[in-house]
């Protein structure tokens, strides 16, 4: 019974923190940490459906963008005022205007690790095959 209570207590405490982490995405941004959170199963499902092309294949670029935009808490790339101030129209455009590809990729990988915690090598292989 104590073992079950310990698991329940851990899960309750873990849920209260939401699994959020702060990450520096590159040397350029080392003084500015981004806040990431894991995605829910519903969010993953929605992103997968949104990222799927007419041929049924997932568009890797769209998938990475949506994972990043959904899992990035700070800064908020969906902030309408920031989008307007920078002179772009969509969160995706803002993301690409503000960050380098490697920074986006690192954020994507961090969110994937938080969400599913798979073997890091599996994520690297998935990215290589995109």
pLDDT in tens, 25-68: 999 999 999 999 999 889 999 999 999 988 989 899 999 999 99
Q: Give the number of domains in the chain.
A: 1
The answer as to whether 14 is a domain residue is no
The answer as to whether 19 is a domain residue is no
The answer as to whether 4 is a domain residue is no
The answer as to whether 18 is a domain residue is no
Three-state SS string over 81-122 comes to HHHHHHCCCCHHHHHHHHCCHHHHHHHHHHHHHHHHCCCHHH
CATH code of 40's domain? 3.30.2220.30
The answer as to whether 20 is a domain residue is no
Closest residue by Cα to residue 95 from 85, 83, 106, 84: 83
Mapping DSSP to helix (H, G, I), strand (E, B) and coil, where does residue 58 land? Answer: strand
Q: Which domain holds residue 39?
A: 27-128
Query: CB 71: neighbour CB atoms within 10 A?
Result: 23
Query: Average model confidence (pLDDT) for the chain?
Result: 86
pLDDT in tens, 3-22: 666 777 776 666 555 678 89
Residue 47, pLDDT score = 94
The answer as to whether 22 is a domain residue is no
């Amino acid at each position: 019974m104590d073992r079950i209570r310990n698991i329940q207590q851990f899960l309750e405490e873990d849920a209260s923190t939401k699994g959020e982490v702060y990450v520096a995405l590159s040397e350029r941004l080392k003084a500015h940490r981004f806040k990431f959170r894991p995605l829910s199963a519903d969010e993953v499902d929605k992103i997968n459906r949104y990222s799927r092309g007419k041929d049924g294949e997932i568009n890797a670029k769209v998938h990475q963008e949506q994972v990043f935009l959904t899992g990035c808490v700070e800064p908020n790339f969906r902030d309408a005022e920031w989008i307007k101030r920078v002179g772009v129209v969509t969160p995706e455009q803002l993301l690409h205007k503000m960050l380098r590809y490697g920074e986006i990729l690192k954020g994507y990988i961090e969110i994937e690790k938080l969400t599913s915690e798979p073997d890091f090598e599996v994520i690297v292989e998935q990215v290589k095959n995109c």
